[in-house]
Amino acid sequence: MSKRDLKQLCYLEALEDNVVSVEMILNRLNQIESKKGVFDAYILQHDRSRTILDLELSLATLCVLLRKMAENLFIVTPDELRKDMNSIIHSNRFEYNRLEVIVYSQKGKEHVDLNALLAFCHHILSSDKLRNL
């Protein structure tokens, strides 16, 4: 296996780990929502706030990894997705509400298409060319 193939394999493994992490956090947020009325609102709000911070960091890590993969010419990132990735990386405020991500930066308020970002990641992971390494 060439050095480039090894690098690509490492990036793909990291991508898969990061996608799983983001999806686990999203599942956790759904679980928190389903427990409204069962547990004390203060406890749920604290857990939700903490989980949203985890989501922000996981998404930023995922976006940095995707950017590195593009810089190494392993993938081609669509323009709209690249804009969303940069928005997540450079944001100074992050909000989440049922699969809607809103980030704030010097550019102002920006909506991020989380479904498109995750679909792109799954497309990369299922790509025949990349799976054959």
**What are the residues facing 96 on neighbouring strands?**
101
3-state secondary structure 60-128: HHHHHHHHHHHHCCCCCCCHHHHHHHHHHHHCCEEEEECCEEEEEECCEEEEECHHHHHHHHHHHHHCH
Parallel, antiparallel, or unpaired: how do β-strands 108-112 and 100-105 relate? antiparallel
* Average pLDDT score over residue span 3-14: 95
Task: Look up the pTM and report it.
Answer: 0.90
For helices 41-71 and 114-126, the axis angle rounded to 10 degrees is: 50
Report pLDDT for 40: 80
Q: Place 36 in a pLDDT band, splitting at 50, 70 and 90.
A: confident
Mapping DSSP to helix (H, G, I), strand (E, B) and coil, where does residue 13 land?
helix
The percentage of residues in the chain with a pLDDT greater than 90, rounded to a whole number, is 77
CB 94 within 8 A of CB 103: yes
Backbone angles phi, psi at 76, to 5 degrees: -120, 120
